[in-house]
Chains A and B, each alone.
Chain A
Amino acid sequence: MSEKPREQWGSRIGLILAMAGNAVGLGNFLRFPRQAVENGGGTFMIPYFVAFLLVGIPLMWIEWGVGRHGGLRGHGSVPGMFESLWKNPVAKYLGVLGLFMPLVVLIYYCYIESWTLAWTFFSLTGATQGLDQDGMRGFLSSYQNLNDPSIHSMWTPILFFVITLSVNIWVVSKGLMGGIEKLAKIGMPILFIFAAFLVIRVLTLPGHAVADATGCIGAAAGSCSPTDGLNFMFTPDWSALGNAKVWLAAAGQIFFTLSVGMGSLQAYASYLKKKDDLTLSGVATCATNETAEVVLGGSLAIPAVVTFFGVTGAVAISKAGGFDLGFVAMPLVFNQLPGGQIMTVAAGVMWFGLLFFAGITSSVSMATPVMSFLEENFGWTRRQSGLAIGALALSLGLLHIFFYQGGFLDEWDYWAGTFGLVILALVETILFVWVFGPDNMWRELHEGAALQLPRLFKFVMTYITPVFLLVMMGWWTVTEAIPTLLMEGKPESEHATRWASRGVMFAILIAQLLLIRAAWRRRAARKDVLT
């Protein structure tokens, strides 16, 4: 463990904005609206908020509690935090999940984040103006596929990825207060201002003639409006409430949107002081994220796309994937906005700018656990650990750029960015609640608390949250993990790339396990010298 004093947050608002910035990501604006329309519309909100209360907020408190408990004992990453909760040699190795997930997700997330930076630039230069739907899709496809230089040179995605990664590394190298907190204080207000402007612009759009107006109020006249989009998002389908898949989709969305199970919230919380509040601050973090998701995310993409493509068109675009919604449909909407070229440019820059800020405030948090681990266990400086992670992310990120079409990124996204999160959340819940003890957990959460939690939540965190997570993991194992492992439905041509992708992830996991062993040997050696 390093003897250097640990950094601390400069202010409570800085901490909450950084935590909320961690949670508010691309999924708030691209994944949430799709999940809502595919899982019962308005009725989706019922399981969504139930999951928020039974899994989301409890996990947020658990992660803040695990982080602060470990941080006060000198641990800024999950291996040490787990060991401080469970005095067993296995604990630190279980904590590898809290290094593996954020590093793996950071690498591919930065690549996706670089698209938003690129599209901000393209919006500014007018590169996407005048394109029709096929043209816009070709524009995105050429960017993603290096073998298709019809529109973009192969260097374009590489250049934007290098810039995005450099900005990330520069921010994290500046430290907690000077880098991450400052970014959150600048980026989060900009994100909310951009989103609020776009929501007002979208919701005040007049009706628009569409090819297929089925499902719109103005169907007889062949036109759709933003109200039709809101109807489409929020009209309840009561039959969905009896569908287990809808409940699990809602729980999954809550899980992803709050960035729990990643290791990054714990790393941020490790910089809290002993008497810092975490109950009320945890609620404020969750609430900020939910406002960004439900109020802003829910009022942007779907109402805008329904207005210009109708409900039928929006469903087709939504089914084509979240990226089509954000990178194909939205620029097409902006091309048709009243107000001419200035409005097209402004809306494009704001939409992709807000996605970029949502992305970067999340990605810098993912770099923090591994950097803390290297600094505290191997005596590296912040700059050295930042450069090391930057070099690793650059080399492995290039694999994503080169092999994106072969499913390289999909594999990382599924195993680390989806399935792995539930495993870490389940393990930490068991350790913090069951091994550390429900009474200790409750006392730890209320140390310096500005909000006394209702005792009902002690019961929820002890029994309901772990059972919910177990059911989620079991369901996903059967319905998704096994078919994904066996590559069911994936073309033969992608199998080699996908296996290589898994091999790289496995190598990262093994390397991190070896690093944990080396770190603990160094600690033991140092202890021997001191005694």
Chain B
Amino acid sequence: MRPTALIFMLAAWTFVLGLTIWSFYRLMKTPEDEKLPPPGSIP
């Protein structure tokens, strides 16, 4: 595979797969009833 094509493909895959894994990991880590306090409530 051409190096430039490989770089673009890997960059695109890394971005979307990374975002997917990170977001689902964060979701699993956050219990459904434990949320951030409303904005402005933390001094």
Give A residues with C-beta under 8 Å from B: 11-12, 16, 41-43, 45, 49, 227, 230-231, 233-236, 275, 277, 280-281, 283-284, 286-288, 290-291, 293-295, 298, 442-443, 446-452
* Interface 0/1 of B7-24, CB less than 8 Å to A: 111011101110110111
Could you tell me the distance in whole angstroms from the C-beta of B1 to the nearest C-beta in chain A? 5
Contacts of B38 in A (CB 8 A): 443, 446-447
User: B2, B9, B35: which contacts A448 (Cβ < 8 A)?
Assistant: B35
User: B8, B12, B27, B36: which contacts A452 (Cβ < 8 A)?
Assistant: B36
Contact between A295 and B16 (Cβ–Cβ < 8 Å)? yes
User: A236, A280, A449: which contacts B23 (Cβ < 8 A)?
Assistant: A280
15 further A-B contacts with Cβ under 8 Å, apart from A294-B13, A448-B36, are A45-B8, A45-B11, A231-B2, A234-B6, A234-B9, A236-B5, A277-B30, A283-B19, A284-B27, A287-B16, A287-B20, A290-B19, A450-B26, A450-B30, A452-B36
Closest residue on chain A to residue B30 by CB atoms: A450
User: Please, how many angstroms separate the alpha-carbon atoms of A448 and B34 in the complex?
Assistant: 8
Contacts of B4 in A (CB 8 A): 42, 235-236
Contact between A280 and B30 (Cβ–Cβ < 8 Å)? yes
Q: Does B43 interact with chain A (Cβ within 8 Å)? A: no
User: Please, how many angstroms separate the alpha-carbon atoms of A230 and B22 in the complex?
Assistant: 26
Closest residue on chain A to residue B15 by CB atoms: A49
Closest residue on chain A to residue B13 by CB atoms: A295
Contacts of B1 in A (CB 8 A): 227, 230-231
On whether A287 and B35 interact (CB within 8 A), knowing A42-B5, A450-B26, the answer reads no
Contacts of A227 in B (CB 8 A): 1
Contacts of A49 in B (CB 8 A): 12, 15
Contacts of A235 in B (CB 8 A): 2, 4-5, 8
User: Please, how many angstroms separate the alpha-carbon atoms of A49 and B15 in the complex?
Assistant: 9
